[in-house]
Amino acid sequence: MKNKKAFAPIMTLVIILAVGLVAALGYIFYQNMNSSSSNNTSNNSQKNTTDKNKGYLVLDDWRVKFKIPTELENTIINKYKINGYYYFTTSRSEAIKGCKNDGDINGTLISLSRYENEQKTDGESNGGLISKLGNYYYYSTPPQAPCWDVSVTEKDKDIISQEISNLGLLLKNIELL
């Protein structure tokens, strides 16, 4: 009888350790999946995979590309995909205090959305239709509020305003891949 009583606590301890190990491995797997998916969706540099896309910003998953205007040729355009929308910033705007994008929509200068059906908008404040390509309507939306804080200089505000304008030009040059 003594052996059976001593065996029960040991078996309980083994089961608890096994459950803890499975939970820890599951947590690590979940973290790795989240970090690799955010690395895939927030491509922080402009990468062109073929020569035919040279001079274009490409959204492979949407099968569209944007001709980069001369105003943005020497600028790194950062794109973030969050909840099915694309958000854009530039290296110049992210260098300004208060405008750094940390993987959310804060600090973004302009967003891009697409829908299968035409959306009603009330003009530029809620976004405007850029184009209908294929089966989708593409809309751009400027920021709802400036990303700077009170310490930002007038020069920096002018840079941000110019970058918003330049990104608007970029999004108007949409083409199918």
Give the contacts of 71 (CB within 8 A, at least 6 positions apart): 162, 166, 169
Of 47-51, 85-89, 141-145, where does the model show the most confidence? 85-89
Tokens of 132: 């209908």
**Res 46: pLDDT:** 44
Q: Which helix (H) or strand (E) holds 139?
A: strand 136-141
The mean of the pLDDT values for the chain is 79
Q: What is the mean pLDDT of residues 135-141?
A: 90
pLDDT tens, residue by residue, 54-106:
889 999 999 999 999 888 888 888 888 888 899 888 888 888 866 766 666 66
Using the predicted structure, report yes or no on whether residue 41 has a pLDDT greater than 60.
Answer: no
Q: How far apart are CA 78 and CA 64, in angstroms?
A: 16
**140 or 152: which carries more pLDDT confidence?**
140
CA-closest candidate to residue 62, choices 81, 43, 42, 35: 81
Question: 50: pLDDT confidence band, cut at 50, 70 and 90?
Answer: low
User: Residue 85's beta-bridge partner residues?
Assistant: 82
Instruction: Please state, for a pLDDT cut of 90, what percent of the chain lies above it.
Output: 16
Flag whether pLDDT at 137 surpasses 50. Answer: yes
- Is the whole model's pTM more than 0.85, yes or no? no
Q: Which two tokens stand for residue 97?
A: 């205090």
Task: Residue 118: name the closest of 105, 104, 132 by CA.
Answer: 132
Determine contact, residues 70/89, Cβ cutoff 8 Å. Answer: no
**How many residues in total does the chain contain?**
177
pLDDT at 156 over 70: yes
Report the C-alpha gap between 50 and 87 in whole angstroms.
Answer: 23
Of 42-51, 79-88, 106-115, 165-174, the poorest mean pLDDT is in 42-51
